[in-house]
Structure 1
Amino acid sequence: MECIVRPAQSADCDHVMGMIREIAEYHNLLDEVKINSQVLRADGFGGDPFYQCLVAELGPEQGDKQGRGIGKKLMSEVAKVALARGCVEMKFTVVEWNGRALAWYRHLGAQDKTEAGGWHSLELGAKALHRLAGEGQ
């Protein structure tokens, strides 16, 4: 069975949450995960969806997932969705020590703007966001 990429459904939220936790644990950031499956369902499948998600499915007989082109197929489908919605670029963040991922994204044609253009990826955390909104100290 070939890899099938499809729009996520509400029933996929438990599995997607598991992958979020898995990648957070890999990056030693599990304590920063503040959402759960119920939040994913409400935010992605309510009346005014906040996000869109694609999932890749393999048959149970296909075992190990790396090296099968799943990541490229997912990125290709995300690119199609982005272009169909009028997007002109895709931005994402990769941790500096993950050289394998950096090399893979570069292979796809991504430019590292931190190196090439001196850009920095910044983040407003929850406290700063509330403070900026005038809700905190």
Structure 2
Amino acid sequence: MADYRIRDAVIDDCEGIFTNIQELAVHHHSPNGVKLTVDTLKRDGFGENPLFRCQVAENINSGEIIGHTLFFPFYSSWIGKGMFMEDLFVIERERNKRVGVALLKRLVQLCVEEGFNRLQWEVMEFNKRGMNFYNKQGAEDTTADGGRRVFRFSKEQMEEYIQ
């Protein structure tokens, strides 16, 4: 039997989620990249109009948040409702114990139950371990055949653009 459980996050989980996000940033070679705070997570995910949802893997014995998925809906003019997974993260010492599989399965189950037509996410090019994980789960890598590139504006670029 697993020593963790997967559940919907609550506002009191924000400290643990934030710690995981910081660890994820280190894993992504961007230790100073996290600009949000615990208060930002609380406001944006657990306020009146939440901008994201989150599920956590919680150690049953200690209550520690050992992993999480952070996700939010999008809408496609081609397929309708979709879900974007921003994070799927498991702390290093808990990897290879099927925690990531359990988190992903729970999110996929939620997407199916709520009528979403797609779950998508991005993986950093250097993250071969992550790509292997998703391939083993049967996910489709659309990078090569999708003919798409991801573009974005940072906050500073948006402000400059509208001047």
Q: TM-score range by the shorter chain?
A: 0.7 to 0.9
The letter for the 1-side match of 2:96 is G
Separation of aligned partners in 1, 2:149 and 2:139: 15
Show CA shifts across 1:24-70 (max 9, x none).
Answer: 11212232211000000011111111111000012448xx3111111
Whether the 8 Å CA contact 1:5–1:56 is kept in 2: the answer is yes
Does residue 88 in structure 1 map to residue 117 in structure 2?
yes
Indicate if the aligned counterparts of 1:93 and 1:121 stay in contact, CA closer than 8 A: no
Distance in 1, Cα, partners of 2:110 & 2:20: 21
Length, aligned pairs only? 133
Counterpart position of 1:101 = 130
Aligned partner of 2:153 in structure 1 is 124
Residue 22 of structure 1 corresponds to: 23
| Equivalence for 1:74 | 103
Q: Distance in 2 between matches of 1:114 and 1:14?
A: 34
Which stretch shows the higher mean deviation, 66-75 or 79-88? 79-88
The C-alpha deviation readout for 1:88-109, integer Å capped at 9, x for no partner, is 1111111111111111101112
Percent identity (aligned): 27
Give the alignment's Cα RMSD to 1 decimal. Answer: 2.0
CA shift, 1:17, in A, is 0.5
CA distance in 2, matches of 1:30, 1:83: 35
Aligned counterparts of 1:13 and 1:93: Cα–Cα separation in 2: 23
3-state SS of paired residue (2:6)? strand
Cα distance change, pair 131–110 in 1 and its aligned pair in 2 (3 A): farther
Report the AA paired with residue 115 of structure 2.
G
Give the TM-score normalised by structure 1: 0.86
Of Structure 1 and Structure 2, which has the larger fraction of its residues in strand?
2
- What one-letter code is carried by the residue in structure 1 that aligns with 2:121? F
Q: 1:131 deviation in Å?
A: 4.3
Equivalences for 1:53-68 in 2 at 5 Å? 53-60=54-61, 64-68=93-97
The correspondence of residues 22-61 of structure 1 with structure 2, limited to 5 A, is 22-60=23-61
Bigger radius of gyration: 1
CA contact (8 A) 2:14 2:38 kept: yes
Give the helix-richer structure, 1 or 2.
1
